[in-house]
Structure 1
Amino acid sequence: MQDDLMPGQLLARGVCRHLLHHGFVTVEEMVPAPGLRLDVMGLGPKGELWIVECKSSRVDFTSDRKWQNYLEWGDRFFWAVDADFPVELLPEGTGLILADAYDAEIVRMGPEAPLAGARRKVMVQKFARHAALRLQGFRDPGVTASGISP
């Protein structure tokens, strides 16, 4: 299966493994609102929500025009890149995670911007539904992440 994964997906796997060591559960490719897709969202042991955008190259980063729209959907925002990525391109005031396919390291914490209670409730519900549908899809190939069978 690893051969089928794209470089950003391999980074996401390492990030998810690392966040699990910090007590976070994660989902990949979650849609918080139409037109947005988060690479990784982590739900922490105290209900905190972290967003991680995985960038596998300079081109991948410079072509991302939506990342600032992600900030309102989590308590912290991070970039995840590999050791060869030119980190000076990344905006100040954002978190930084160095990752590979097997693990990661939080180099710089993203600033905390706590979600309002109503937004947090919606996001935790979306997280739970996304995770449940993904799990159901493993048992029933007719189920997709949106819940709609083809």
Structure 2
Amino acid sequence: MSRIIQRPIEIPVDGRQSETALLVARGTARLLLSHGFSCVQELPLNSGRRADLVALDAGGEIWIVEVKSSIADFRADQKWQDYRLHCDRLFFATAATVPAEIFPEDAGLIVADAYGATVLREAPHHRLAAATRKSMMLCFARAAALRLQALADPNGPYGDFT
């Protein structure tokens, strides 16, 4: 009988996020998991944007979380407003060192560190149209599957698909 040797999986980092942003994203993903959501990070959307975290629950609810690691990061990037078209709820996630008052009241707010997170403000619900939900679910599923394939076959032809 052959033995299966398991090795730890190392997920590649794409290098665009600061260390703080990576830790906030990790803690936020843990919070979302505790609420029944699965997450895909850096998900390309049909609009051409790339969402920091897209979360999907068993009922098909879709949340997008935009990670902001500093005041400068928030001020430099206003494309987050486009994300509302792709989710049922929109949140910001940030570190405890970033002042909460800079974030808009019409989005949820999460404060996170590397180990967990807390929802400071719930996001308003704006239900997606059925066609948009289906499109987002397919995008989510394909990205997650391709990323798993790429981990199992690191030298495969996955390129920008992941």
Compute the TM-score of the two structures, normalised by the length of structure 2: 0.85
CA contact (8 A) 1:96 1:107 kept: yes
**Cα separation, 2, equivalents of 1:102 and 1:87:** 19
**Cα separation, 2, equivalents of 1:25 and 1:146:** 19
**Cα separation, 2, equivalents of 1:41 and 1:145:** 18
SS state of the match for residue 46, structure 1?
coil
CA contact (8 A) 2:20 2:95 kept: no
**Cα separation, 1, equivalents of 2:24 and 2:80:** 17
* Equivalent AA in structure 1 for residue 70 of structure 2: S
Equivalent position to 1:116, from 122, 125, 129: 129
- Could you tell me how far 1:6 is from its partner in structure 2? 2.4
The gaps in structure 1 that reach 5 residues or longer are none
CA contact (8 A) 2:38 2:57 kept: yes
**Cross-structure match for 1:44:** 57
1:18 lines up with 2:48 in the alignment = no
SS state of the match for residue 16, structure 1?
helix
Query: Once superposed, what is the RMSD of the aligned Cα atoms?
Result: 1.7
- Could you tell me how far 1:24 is from its partner in structure 2? 0.4
**Cα separation, 1, equivalents of 2:42 and 2:121:** 23
**Cα separation, 1, equivalents of 2:82 and 2:47:** 11
**Cα separation, 1, equivalents of 2:145 and 2:46:** 18
**Cα separation, 1, equivalents of 2:116 and 2:160:** 25
- Could you tell me how far 1:34 is from its partner in structure 2? 4.5
**Cα separation, 1, equivalents of 2:101 and 2:46:** 29
**Cross-structure match for 1:139:** 152
Identity of aligned residues (%): 48
The gaps in structure 2 that reach 5 residues or longer are 1-9
Aligned residues: 146
**Cross-structure match for 1:67:** 80
Larger Rg: 2
1:97 lines up with 2:110 in the alignment = yes
**Cross-structure match for 1:78:** 91
- Could you tell me how far 1:145 is from its partner in structure 2? 5.1
Deviations 1:96-138 (A, max 9, x none): 0010111111111110000001110110010000100111111
Deviations 1:47-87 (A, max 9, x none): 10000001111111101120101110000000001111111
